[in-house]
Amino acid sequence: MSDEPEDSKLPPIPEDIAEASRAAGREYTIIGGDGAEYGPRSLADLKRWVETGRADAKSLARTSAANDWQRLDQFPELAECLSQSGPPMQSPARPGKFQAVAVMTLVGGIVSLLWTLIVAWAGLTSLLFVCCFIPSGLYSFIAGILITVQGARLLGQNAGPILPRTASAATLLIVCILAFNPICLVLGVINHWLLNDAEVREYVAAHSRKPAV
């Protein structure tokens, strides 16, 4: 009777099968279309990204054990999946109406800030007016800062995470009427009207979602 262990009698595992087994247990971090990092994710998650068009051969990823980013077509375990995938899913282009919302949000925030300072300075001659204006003016000033930041970010390239707050910024503009500001009131109403446009709603919904993983 041989004393050799049973394992030594088994045939060697083919290298491609061994590599596939190792890849199945790896975890990956991938850069989404919005520029944000997502992970760690499994190989199955990456394949799902490719199959649904949310990633392609040029998308960047790295394993948990690596420091360098690589294109997905440099991962052998994704070769078959990439060869079967179609073109990446295209997000709707930014509509002109949404661009108008972004511009009016930024302008409204700046107007809110300036209006507060101008009206407060003009009302210094009336102590009663100043006392009545201070609470609403303080709101207008703080809201102006928040709205200005929102508008500036909406005009940027990676506005996805803040898109759901656009309607809130429009509401803040409307409430600036408490500071006797009709300009912000009009801008806020117009923004709400534009945000209800079907094309704008589609754009906001598409860009607000994080890629499915």
Q: What is the pTM of this model?
A: 0.56
Dist CA 140 CA 44 (whole Å): 50
Neighbouring C-alpha atoms within 13 Å toward the C-beta of 72: 28
| Number of domains composing the chain | 2
Regarding whether 79 and 133 lie in a shared domain, the answer is no
What is the structure's pLDDT at 210? 47
| Domain co-membership, 103 together with 64 | no
Looking at residue 178, its amino acid is: L
pLDDT at residue 149 above 90? yes
- pLDDT tens digits along 19-74: 444 555 678 888 876 667 787 888 888 888 888 777 888 888 888 767 788 888 88
Tell me: do 60 and 108 sit in the same domain: no
In a domain, 143, yes or no: yes
Spatial contact of 212 and 38, defined as CB atoms under 8 Å apart: no
Sign of CA dihedral 71, 72, 77, 83: negative
What's the mean pLDDT when you consider all of the chain? 77
Same domain? For 200 and 104 the reply is: yes
Q: Identify whether residues 142 and 199 lie together within a single domain.
A: yes
From 49, 84, 119, the end of a domain falls on 84
The whole-angstrom separation of Cα 69 and Cα 34 is 16
Domain that holds residue 131: 96-208
Percent of the chain with pLDDT over 70: 71
pLDDT in tens, 63-111: 876 778 888 888 888 888 888 765 555 555 678 899 999 999 999 999 9
CA distance 119 to 66: 58
Residue 124: per-residue pLDDT: 53
> Which CATH number do you get for residue 37?
3.30.1490
